[in-house]
Amino acid sequence: MPGEETRTGTAHSRRGFLKAAALGSAAAVVAPETAAGQAPPGRRLGAGVGPYGERSGFETALRRVRGSRYDQAAGSLTPLQDLNGTITPSALHFERHHAGIPDIDPSAHRLLVDGLVDRPLVFSMDDLRRMPAVTRVYFVECSGNGRVKWSPAAPDTDVQAAFGMTSCSEWTGVPVSVLLREAGVRSDAAWLVAEGADACRMTRSVPLDKALDDTLVAYGQNGEALRPAQGYPLRLLIPGWEGNISIKWLRRLRVVDRSYLTREETSKYTDLMPNGEARQYTFAMDAKSVITRPSGGQRLAGPGFQQISGLAWSGRGRVARVEVSTDGGRSWTAARLQDPVLPLAHTRFRLDWRWNGSETVLASRCIDETGDVQPTRAALIAVRGTRSSYHNNAIQGWRIARDGAVENVDV
Amino acid sequence: MPGEETRTGTAHSRRGFLKAAALGSAAAVVAPETAAGQAPPGRRLGAGVGPYGERSGFETALRRVRGSRYDQAAGSLTPLQDLNGTITPSALHFERHHAGIPDIDPSAHRLLVDGLVDRPLVFSMDDLRRMPAVTRVYFVECSGNGRVKWSPAAPDTDVQAAFGMTSCSEWTGVPVSVLLREAGVRSDAAWLVAEGADACRMTRSVPLDKALDDTLVAYGQNGEALRPAQGYPLRLLIPGWEGNISIKWLRRLRVVDRSYLTREETSKYTDLMPNGEARQYTFAMDAKSVITRPSGGQRLAGPGFQQISGLAWSGRGRVARVEVSTDGGRSWTAARLQDPVLPLAHTRFRLDWRWNGSETVLASRCIDETGDVQPTRAALIAVRGTRSSYHNNAIQGWRIARDGAVENVDV
């Protein structure tokens, strides 16, 4: 079974690694008399308490805006290389908008549920907050995440550029199943059409089975209200599926009998196969992982102990196993998975490693509970060709040069 | 076993409740022809993407500063009534400082491990980031949280005032056990003395057993670096124990043979019992819970369906069960616990309820996995007297008036 080892067991098994590491470069050994001289803190009073906290001025992690003619139809990328754990700070959640972020007054916002229902209903935000809620940790990933991997690796592509269109939050909201049971779904219903309140009225068709399974109308993100860029005050949250279908600024769920074949499921969010046919309705995100530390653009300080750390996820269930290679894919070792391993959520993996100072390539591959295995780029292209834009889950490699510099490489 | 019911089961069992509720006041039933007229969104482009997100201008939840002569030696309170789920947004994590928040450059910060060790060691932040890390969700609670409950209930005390000195985050850091094994603990060692880099050099003694069990030196909070008010760039994180001992801005761990009887474990953070003796080293926070919605200062819109929601936690392990009373404590019903139920973390509980419009009192009580049961205020005072400041875990009541107004009341 994957999962973090018990604390005692972990510490014990690491002992050999660490003793050597500390005596090398992971910490300075100091004589007791000089130890006491470690930079003493000042005696000036610091800043006082306040109503809303900000991060330290020394922290500079930012989303990177992807080039676009219009910022309203652009994306921004989560700096995965700078993050710890599994939760993405809401301020750094990736963005992808098609007509900008509307400024919505929640007291005026309504959700309409209509179409093939017994009773069309309109919900205010106050109505929704009184209803049965659930809280779950889910990733949201743009299906275009990893798009750069359709081309051969550019050495200076870092993890933010290649993988920054995925983020993970604790979402709170009302199951769609609860709303639809209230409205009463008619027997000829088979899909939902979800519509956003942004200027383009972003619209997607959702199979009714998934909507009734685990889909939420979410109003909470990481404890507070949704951030405007993630759909404030209300969004659809379709766990594990490509982000575009989790309609933000949700204003309407229309129950219908068929897919409405919107722009987002015909000319966009489909992938051309080598035979000229297109993959359509490729909803679930495939098993994926990436090492975030060390990763492209970083530099190892020198040989010695270095814990390898990264994220893995799958749109089909729990991460069952993450394997890490420190020799360019010749051999693979199971990494530890940080518990709790939650379905359809980012899972942090870690592997203790001792770099001997010679050039090598690091890589990771995810295996999910359905047996889906993250493929090499060559294996993926052998099936899919190179005319796709979306759903690339190829293995990511990071070359470590002898001077410790880390750069992007295909594995 | 506690835990969220399966989705299907939950939805099914709620059906009766909800059908009636929706047809009452939880949503408006609309005729199909008027439904389509639900306020249409504008067609103006919204705001563009950007490097760092902020919350909506319509969101106004703030920490409330507790009265103090000096903001540097004050506290601020988390607005639990405004939050969803279990994670506290870092910007709203409660504060309690004794000499203000120092402004620390992480590149200059060092952690010294010395005292009864074989090898005194100094760690830079870069050293620590290379070492084996773990990520865990833990609450941090001031032992003075609930202090107002030593006095009879003031009607206008809300949940932020009474319970706002607890917050819950996803923390990432290095186990203290790893650092101490590197340094080599001598056989005569029994305690640690942890020292902060704030102007008062906040200092606490920590039993070595707890330090070696689950204590971290944490640098990550909710995915990003610690916030300055929570110890940036490094803090001790002693899970489940009173917040004061989790020394912020950590600069030194000195291994010693006995408690150093600092101010914080003698004149402060001790409680006088009726017989004149003081309780000392009352480290673990007791089993506690509070209903956050509805709670003091809120007003129910009217009779009908209203899901009751709150938080429970214990410093001794997992929450095993939360019971809710809707009749002032005469009868109790088990609430649903949101999974995953993690040890030493806030646990969200929920109970479906239908208010009939008459005056009543809501209350909750937590039972943890050790069997610790949250007591009534009268039962607590019968043992502890009223000369304490800390460690009050009495049951919280909320009176619902016939007009829907909610106010503080003893149960």
Range ranked top by mean pLDDT from A26-40, A266-280, B369-383:
B369-383
pLDDT score at B6: 31
- pLDDT higher than 70, residue B63: yes
Separation CA B225–CA A54 (nearest Å): 11
Report the residue of chain A nearest B3, measured CA to CA: A134
Which residues are CB-neighbours of B320 under 8 A, at least 6 positions away? Answer: B2, B367, B368, B369, B371
Token representation of residue A158: 């870092």
Do B273 and B308 fall within a single domain? no
pLDDT tens readout for residues A228-249: 999 999 999 999 999 999 999 9
Which residue type does A92 have? L
- Kindly report the nearest CA distance between residue B406 and chain A, in angstroms: 15
Do B204 and B292 fall within a single domain? no
Q: What are A319's strand-pairing partners?
A: A368
Q: Are B365 and B393 contacting, i.e. CB atoms less than 8 angstroms apart?
A: no
Separation CA B145–CA B316 (nearest Å): 17
Q: What are B196's strand-pairing partners?
A: B250
Supply the ipTM of this predicted assembly.
0.93
Is the Cβ of A378 closer than 8 Å to some Cβ of chain B? no
Q: Name the residue range of residue A348's domain.
A: 288-409
| CATH classification of the domain holding B256 | 3.90.420.10
- Kindly report the nearest CA distance between residue B384 and chain A, in angstroms: 31
Do A266 and A365 fall within a single domain? no
The answer to whether the CB atoms of A58 and B182 lie below 8 A apart is no
- Last-in-domain residue among A279, A302, A337: A279
Average pLDDT value over all residues in chain A: 91
| Cβ within 8 Å of A, B 313-372 | 338, 340, 342, 348, 350, 352
Separation CA A55–CA A27 (nearest Å): 27
Q: What are phi and psi of B159, to 5 degrees?
A: -70, -30
Instruction: Label residue A82 left, alpha or beta by phi (over 0 means left) and psi (-120 to 50 means alpha).
Output: alpha
| Cβ within 8 Å of A, B 276-295 | 293
Domain count along chain B: 2
Half-sphere exposure of residue B244: CA atoms within 13 angstroms, side-chain side: 26
Average pLDDT (B131-160) is: 97
Using an 8 Å CB-CB cutoff, list chain A residues near B97: 46, 48-49
Going by their DSSP bridges, the two strands A397-400 and A406-409 should be labelled as antiparallel
> Closest to A55 (Cβ–Cβ): which among B31, B56, B227?
B227
pLDDT score at A40: 65
Interface test with chain B among A45, A170, A344, by most B beta carbons within 10 Å: A45
A6 assigned to some structural domain: no
Closest CA relative to residue B62, chosen from B78, B83, B47, B74: B78
Q: Sign of torsion, CA B196 B201 B202 B206?
A: positive
Cα dihedral B20→B26→B31→B32 (10° resolution) = -110
The answer to whether the CB atoms of B85 and A14 lie below 8 A apart is no
The answer to whether the CB atoms of A223 and B84 lie below 8 A apart is yes
pLDDT tens readout for residues A163-186: 999 999 999 999 999 999 999 999
Do B298 and B265 fall within a single domain? no
Separation CA A271–CA B237 (nearest Å): 48
pLDDT score at A22: 45
pLDDT score at B346: 98
Which residues are CB-neighbours of A129 under 8 A, at least 6 positions away? Answer: A219, B293
The answer to whether the CB atoms of A181 and B75 lie below 8 A apart is no
Residue A373 DSSP one-character state: B
Separation CA A61–CA A83 (nearest Å): 9
Token representation of residue A354: 């001792």
B61 assigned to some structural domain: no
Is the Cβ of A203 closer than 8 Å to some Cβ of chain B? no
Is the Cβ of A122 closer than 8 Å to some Cβ of chain B? yes
Average pLDDT (B340-357) is: 98
Separation CA B223–CA B274 (nearest Å): 45
Is the Cβ of A81 closer than 8 Å to some Cβ of chain B? no
A331 assigned to some structural domain: yes
How many CB atoms sit inside 10 A of residue A318's CB? 18
- pLDDT higher than 60, residue B46: yes
Residue with tokens 């993690």: B342
Separation CA A286–CA A289 (nearest Å): 10
A142 assigned to some structural domain: yes
Do B121 and B258 fall within a single domain? yes
The answer to whether the CB atoms of A38 and B110 lie below 8 A apart is yes
pLDDT score at B42: 77
B345 assigned to some structural domain: yes
- Last-in-domain residue among A279, A300, A333: A279
Buried b / exposed e over A33-42, threshold 16 CB at 10 Å, is eebeebeebe
Do B263 and B126 fall within a single domain? yes
A223 assigned to some structural domain: yes
Is the Cβ of B37 closer than 8 Å to some Cβ of chain A? no
Per DSSP, the residues of A247-296 read -SSEEEEEEESS----GGGTTSS-EE-TTS-EE----BPPPEEEEEES-T
Task: Decide: residue A184, CB within 10 A, 0-12 exposed, 13-18 middle, 19+ buried.
Answer: middle
pLDDT class of A10 with cuts at 50, 70, 90: very low
Do B100 and B174 fall within a single domain? yes
Per DSSP, the residues of B282-320 read --BPPPEEEEEES-TT-B--SSEE--EEEEEE-TTS-EE
Do A120 and A99 fall within a single domain? yes
> Closest to A225 (Cβ–Cβ): which among B46, B59, B252?
B59
Percent of chain A with pLDDT over 70: 91
pLDDT score at B279: 92
pLDDT tens readout for residues B14-43: 344 444 444 344 567 766 555 555 666 778
B50 assigned to some structural domain: no
pLDDT score at A35: 55
Is the Cβ of A6 closer than 8 Å to some Cβ of chain B? no
Average pLDDT value over all residues in chain B: 91
Average pLDDT (A312-316) is: 98
Using an 8 Å CB-CB cutoff, list chain B residues near A225: 55-56, 59, 84
Q: Sign of torsion, CA A149 A150 A154 A156?
A: negative
Separation CA A201–CA B118 (nearest Å): 66
Which residues are CB-neighbours of B276 under 8 A, at least 6 positions away? Answer: none
Separation CA A195–CA A193 (nearest Å): 7
The answer to whether the CB atoms of B100 and A47 lie below 8 A apart is yes
pLDDT tens readout for residues A117-150: 999 999 999 999 999 999 999 999 999 999 999 9
The pTM of this model reads: 0.93
Report the residue of chain A nearest B62, measured CA to CA: A51
The answer to whether the CB atoms of A72 and B48 lie below 8 A apart is yes
- Last-in-domain residue among B247, B279, B311: B279
| CATH classification of the domain holding B383 | 2.60.40.650
Is the Cβ of B215 closer than 8 Å to some Cβ of chain A? no
Report the residue of chain A nearest B201, measured CA to CA: A41
Do B255 and B305 fall within a single domain? no
The answer to whether the CB atoms of A181 and B19 lie below 8 A apart is yes
Average pLDDT (A23-49) is: 67
Do B262 and B312 fall within a single domain? no
Task: Decide: residue A151, CB within 10 A, 0-12 exposed, 13-18 middle, 19+ buried.
Answer: exposed
* CA B102-B108-B113 angle, 5° bins: 90
Separation CA B384–CA B380 (nearest Å): 6
Do B127 and B201 fall within a single domain? yes
Do A136 and A169 fall within a single domain? yes
Where is pLDDT greater, at B8 or A111? Answer: A111
pLDDT tens readout for residues B266-294: 988 999 999 999 999 999 999 999 999 99
B56 assigned to some structural domain: no
Going by their DSSP bridges, the two strands B110-115 and B250-256 should be labelled as parallel
